[in-house]
Structure 1
Amino acid sequence: MTPVRRRAALAGSVVLLTTAVAAVAVLVTALFAWRTIRSTAESQERDQLSRQAEVMARTPALATLMLDRQQLIAGPNGTELALVGTTGAVQGPAAPVVGAAWRTTLLAGRDVSGTGFLDGQEVLVEGVPARTGGGLVLIRPMSSVDEAADRMRGALVLPLGLGLSGAALAGALLARRLARPLVSAARTAHRLSEGERGLRVPAEGPAEVSELATALNSLDAALAHSEQRQRDFLMSVSHEIRTPLTTVRGYAEALADKVITGDEVPEAGRILGGEIERLERFVGDLLALARLEADDFRLDTDEVDVDALVARAATVWSARCTGHDVVFRAERPGHPVRITTDGFRVRQLVDGLLENALRVTPAGRPLVLALCQEDTGARLEVRDGGPGLTEEDVAVAFERGTLTARYRGVRAVGSGLGLALAHRLATLLGGTVTVQGHGPEGGACFTVRLPADPGLSRLS
């Protein structure tokens, strides 16, 4: 048995991701700051050394005394001094650092700034011209820059660590905010799969999570509605089957018990045949609907002359309507109306709508099959002179068994599958079927629109 791989929880993944992103950000910041701090520290040391040199340059004669006193108070910091006389002579501990170029610059009245070496050690050099001529130069070991940079880097560790910890905490809070409604939605989905209904998921959290909750709530309502329709349909099916079965059983028992004999037998046989035919028709509708809803249902499309198809259908239905004293009329253009479709399925669709219409059309009333050519294809209409449909009927006309259950005992009804079959067929043919409650003849008007090319219709 293959072991089931355990998936990581969303909360843990979010925390890990946010911490990883924060860690990368902290690392990049630290690397950038690590290099920037060194130059910042050097700039600060130079600035401090330059200001100190400016103060001392105002009284060059007291500069050495001032430096010695400062180091006595604050402690030695490696700062050394060099005095450049008006003649260019240099004296003081830092004299070896001051070269000819710097002497010339100071005698010209300009500042000097740079680095040099004293006793093999790299030093910072800052010099300013004196008011009385010449200049003053201060040097400080470069190690002081490194020490200042280390102090600044050490101070950087705490805020970076706090930033990383804060990111992890923010990730945990975000994960909790995301995961809680998702877990609730997942639990609701599991309960829905187990058959519970009437569940509500709170629409909280981010917009996407809230949309998921709304979708689950809509799914719950849709499932409840669908299951209620299925129950109603099954009740309708059971009623449709039970009635002819009861009749067949009753006559079969009467024949077996010889209650029906002699001249009554042929009549009983006709009744049994009629009930069996009802059962066959009902089962046939069920099987046809199941085939239409199968994923592998195939259409055999070809160029079809719908006008000729309507003419053939009119010949058959004119005879059937005459037998029911219904006035049949066919309205067609009388010239070829060619579209690419499955002619057999179109005829099946037309026959289904005509049979449904004939069932409710009283004797002496009209039944019309009309064809009209349109720019986008063909339009077929089946209109009857029956009682028509209410607005509530129109809304549910193509739902399986709904009208049958609504009008059983009021008017002639069929298996409850005919209009559902028509709707499914029209959809598979790339067209549509709609209904008006009352058409020109007073009864219902069913309109089928078929595209000239069902392939193009599905792409559009």
Structure 2
Amino acid sequence: MPGSLRFRLPALFLLGIVLAGVVAAAISLRLFQTYTRTQSVQELRREASGLSQLYADAALRAADEGSAAIDFAASKLELATGDRIFYIGASLFPGQDSGLPRLAESAVPSRVSALRETVTFEFTPPGSGRPYLAASAPVRLEPESDALGAIIVAKPRTELRDQWLPLVGRLAAAFAVGAVLSGLLSWWLSRRITGPVLALSGAADEIADGNYAVRVPVSQGGDEISHLAERFNEMAARLAATEERERQFLMSVSHELRTPLTAIKGHVDALRDGLVADPELVQASLDVVAAETVRLERLVGDVLDLAKLNAHRFTVHAQEVHMGALVEQAYATFGEEARRREIDYRLSGTDEAPTIVTDGDRVLQVISNLLANAFRWTPDGGLIELAAAAAGGRVAVEVRDSGPGIQPAERERIFVPFISRDTTGTGLGLPIARELAVALGGQIELESDVGRGSCFRLVLPAVRP
């Protein structure tokens, strides 16, 4: 197809070769024309100078010895040289015929008739009808004497054309062969280049249609095309993984939403149908509905937070935050649960904690999520420590528990949304905590000893106000 890359690429390549060939041929032809003209001019000047000296010597002998004019005719000289010979000026052999065709001074340029130097010029001899390239040389009997006349040696300009005209045919033949070879080479190169590109284009169409399993072959050689194919395959794999995560996300959200909704619907139906009449049972049902509503509200809020973080639409509201007071606030939130479950709940380092610039509400949310995870996995009567520290331009908040610990294979998986190790959680607390930490310019570090407990550490940059 004329509009396809496979057609345009060799066409442009061939066009470039053709243009380069035309320019090179034109330059070569011009250089050859200049060369042949220069050679012809030099040859004409040598012949004119030689004939001028020959006739000057003959005229001098005739004047000194009274001898006759030289006995060779100009026609013989023309036959020997292949050029036309003319003469302008005074007679070289008074009373005798030199045999040279004479020209009127008006037939040649004035600088020729001035008889001062050897001159190259173009003119049209009388009766010829075609232009000639000529050279004139003054005839002097003595080196310092005035010239009697000038010998003119000329050749038709058509002879110059006849010298370079065969070159045009050779250049045309070479150009045609080069164009054919260039066309074949450009076609082969276009196949090599556009083949992978067309494969990428087809694979992109497949991905646009939702087929993320498509892959393109990667050629050997490590060039840009193979690198592009590798990156394309990586992109397709990531899209496939993203689609799978989205599918799992929707399934998990649906499941998590259905659980509290089912409980709420069951108790509401029982109350509406009058199946529960005992005031205590009615109150118990209402308590369940309220608890499941809170759970549902928390789940929806967590999902919205996670969606904003993943879409990079999360806004940090920076303000001055005293980390000691913030940690104490988070600590107090879980004080009642610790007392009820007889957990040894400890707090340290708040007095030395600095004031930094960050989003206090989001930092509190991260610490609360880490504490909620610690209380979920710490058995009654266990130990939970909350500590703050600052060093090396960073602020760290540690949540250490005496729970069962986390297996090495699970330490990255627990930060994946909806992956929970028990049936009571949503699996969103730790993923949201880590994403919030990253959004705040920090990170969450994890240390765990299986059978003895875990330590989650929130690390933030200590940006001073």
Measured against the shorter chain, the TM-score band is 0.7 to 0.9
Q: State the match for 1:228 in structure 2.
A: 244
Determine the structure 2 residue equivalent to 1:290: 307
Does the CA-based 8 Å contact 1:125-1:140 persist in structure 2?
no
Distance in 2, matches of 1:391 and 1:92, equals 118
* Residue number among 380, 386, 393 corresponding to 1:376 in the alignment: 393
- Secondary structure of 2:357's aligned partner: strand
Tell me which residue corresponds to 2:201: 186
Q: Is the 8 A contact 1:400 1:420 kept in 2?
A: yes
**How far apart in 2 are the matches of 1:118 and 1:342?**
99
State the Cα distance separating 1:382 from its structure 2 match: 2.0
Amino acid at match of 1:145: L
Match of 2:189 in 1: 174
**Structure 1 position 310 matched with structure 2 position 320:** no
Farther off after superposition, 89-98 or 426-435: 89-98
Kindly indicate whether residue 83 of structure 2 is the aligned counterpart of residue 78 of structure 1.
yes
CA-based RMSD? 4.4
Task: Flag structure 2 segments of 5+ consecutive residues without an equivalent.
Answer: 56-69, 104-111, 138-150
Change (3 A) 1:208 1:88: farther
Deviation at 1:351, TM superposition (A): 0.9
Corresponding position of 1:241 = 257
Q: Which residue of 1 is the match for residue 440 of structure 2?
A: 429
Are 1:357 and 2:378 matched, yes or no?
no
Structure 1 pair 215–118 and aligned structure 2 pair: CA distance change class (3 A): closer
Counterparts in 2 of 1:447 and 1:254: CA distance versus 1, 3 Å? same
**Conserved? CA contact 1:431–1:454, under 8 Å:** no
Count of equivalent residues: 420
Amino acid at match of 1:78: D
CA shift in 2, pair 1:141/1:319, >3 Å: same
Counterparts of 2:102 and 2:399, CA distance in 1: 116
Is residue 78–residue 85 contact of structure 2 (8 Å, CA) maintained in 1?
A: no
Residue 415 (structure 1) shift: 0.6
Are the counterparts in 2 of residues 329 and 368 from structure 1 also a CA contact under 8 Å?
yes
Matched, 1:447 2:442: no
| Structure 1 residue 14 displacement after superposition | 2.1
Conserved? CA contact 2:200–2:216, under 8 Å: yes
User: What does residue 6 of structure 2 align with?
Assistant: 11
- Is contact 1:124-1:142 (8 Å) kept? no
Partner of 1:39: 34
The answer as to 2:316 corresponding to 1:299 is: yes
How far residue 81 of structure 1 moved from its aligned partner, in angstroms, is 11
Tell me the SS of whatever aligns to 1:444.
strand
Report the Cα offset of residue 113 of structure 1.
Answer: 10
Distance across 1 between alignment mates of 2:410 and 2:364: 25
Answer whether contact 2:377 2:404 (CA < 8 A) is retained: yes
Aligned-partner SS, 2:214: coil
TM-score (norm 1): 0.74
How far off its partner does 1:357 sit? 1.7
Match of 1:420 in 2: 431
Please state whether the residue corresponding to 2:363 is helix, strand or coil: helix
Deviations along 1:247-288, one digit per CA (max 9) or x if unpaired, are: 344444544352674644433443343333322322222123
Is 1:145 aligned to residue 150 of structure 2?
no
Q: Among the aligned pairs, what percent are the same residue?
A: 29
User: Structure 2: which amino acid aligns with 1:433?
Assistant: I
TM value normalised by structure 2: 0.73
Q: Supply the distance in 1 between the matched residues of 2:171 and 2:136 (Cα, whole angstroms).
A: 29
Question: What is the CA distance between 1:343 and its match in structure 2?
Answer: 0.9
Structure 2 CA distance for partners of 1:336 and 1:272, relative to 1, 3 Å: closer
Q: Distance in 2 between matches of 1:80 and 1:141?
A: 12
User: d(CA) in 2 for partners of 1:115 and 1:17?
Assistant: 46
The 1:94–1:200 alpha-carbon spacing in structure 2 relative to 1, beyond 3 Å, is: farther
Provide the residue aligned with 1:109 in structure 2: none
Indicate if the aligned counterparts of 1:318 and 1:329 stay in contact, CA closer than 8 A.
no
Q: 1:66 to 1:364 in 2, by over 3 A?
A: farther
Question: Partners of 1:304 and 1:436 in 2: how far apart?
Answer: 27
Q: How far does residue 360 in structure 1 lie from its aligned partner after superposition?
A: 1.0
Counterpart selection for 2:405 from 381, 388, 391: 388
Amino acid at match of 2:331: A
Kindly indicate whether the alpha-carbon contact (under 8 Å) linking 1:306 and 1:336 is maintained by their aligned counterparts in 2.
Answer: yes
Deviation at 1:336, TM superposition (A): 4.8
SS in 2 for 1:371: strand
Deviation at 1:431, TM superposition (A): 1.8
Structure 1 CA distance for aligned equivalents of residues 463 and 5 of structure 2? 48
Matched, 1:29 2:30: no
Q: Give me the whole-angstrom Cα distance separating, in 1, the residues matched to 2:258 and 2:248.
A: 15
Q: 1:377 to 1:433 in 2, by over 3 A?
A: same
The one-letter code sitting in structure 2 at the alignment partner of 1:383 is R
SS class of match (1:437): strand
Q: State the distance in 2 between where 1:139 and 1:46 align.
A: 9
* Contact map agreement 1:46 1:126 (CA 8 A) in 2: no
Deviation at 1:355, TM superposition (A): 1.0
For 1:229-248, what per-residue CA distance to the aligned partner results, in whole angstroms no more than 9, with x for missing partners? 23333333333334334434
Report SS of the residue matched to 2:415. Answer: coil
8 Å Cα contact 2:353/2:390 also seen in 1: no
SS of the equivalent of 1:373 reads strand
The alpha-carbon deviation at position 214 of structure 1 amounts to 1.6
For 1:453 and 1:311, locate their aligned partners in 2 and report how far apart those are by CA, in whole Å: 20
**Secondary structure class of the residue paired with 2:395:** strand
For residue 36 of structure 1, report the CA deviation from its aligned partner.
0.8
Q: CA deviation at 1:359?
A: 0.8
Q: Which residues of structure 1 form unaligned runs of 5+?
A: 1-5, 72-76, 103-111, 128-135, 456-460
Any idea what SS the aligned residue of 1:187 has?
A: helix
| Larger CA deviation: 254-263 vs 323-332 | 254-263
Residue 229 of structure 2 is aligned to residue 213 of structure 1 = yes
